Amino acid sequence: MPRHKPTISSSTYLRRSIASAAARLIAEGGMSDFGSAKRKAARQLGASDGDALPSNDEVEIELRAYQAIFQDNEQTERLHEMRTNALEIMNLLADFHPHLTGAVLNGTAGRYAPIEIDLFADSSKDVEIFMLSHNILYSSTEIRRQNPLSAETRLHLDWNHDSIDLSVYPIAAVRTLTRDNRACAATIVGLLAATPEITPT
């Protein structure tokens, strides 16, 4: 009997198409939020609200593939620059147990992605007082907390042409939240040593 080749269902094809389009929006289009990129990509492809969107993991796979093909050297150089800036801020804010997280840590940061750093303090006011005492301009946004260990404030500032997002958590969360998907300054030093900056030839 003839064998039938497996086919990709229309829903699976649509999910892949949305993931690929979202990846391009993150890599090239100035978007950094996966959820927003997926929704915009779905609209661009004419998908309805009822269509299942791809997961963040699916978008990340497409994003890594896109960056490897189209932005290899640029991505390496950009990551080095962003991690260098992250380390500067982390050293400056060492009293608040800074940990890098997000796309700059995992290596998928697009051209316009913010540097995301988590801080831990008795009060977010302690961090703000520190910023003011060092003449660092910033803006702040209060966060609706889901539980006592949630972030209470997000601070935003510009540093060497990079956007920095600082999420301030209560000090009681430091042991719990720094175990996964976050890296301390010493780890960033190691990442920088492993991926030296590319210099033009």
Q: Are residues 65 and 157 in the same domain?
A: no
CA–CA separation, 117 and 100 (whole Å): 4
**Assigned domain for 151 exists:** yes
Plot region of 135 (φ>0 → left; ψ -120 to 50 → alpha; else → beta): left
pTM summary value: 0.83
Residue 3: per-residue pLDDT = 54
Residue 201: per-residue pLDDT = 45
| pLDDT tens digits, 69-91 | 988 888 889 999 999 999 999 99
**Assigned domain for 183 exists:** yes
| pLDDT tens digits, 123-143 | 999 999 999 999 999 999 988
Q: Are residues 83 and 24 in the same domain?
A: no
Q: Which CATH number is 168's domain given? A: 3.30.460.10
**Assigned domain for 200 exists:** no
**Assigned domain for 1 exists:** no
Domain that holds residue 21: 10-70
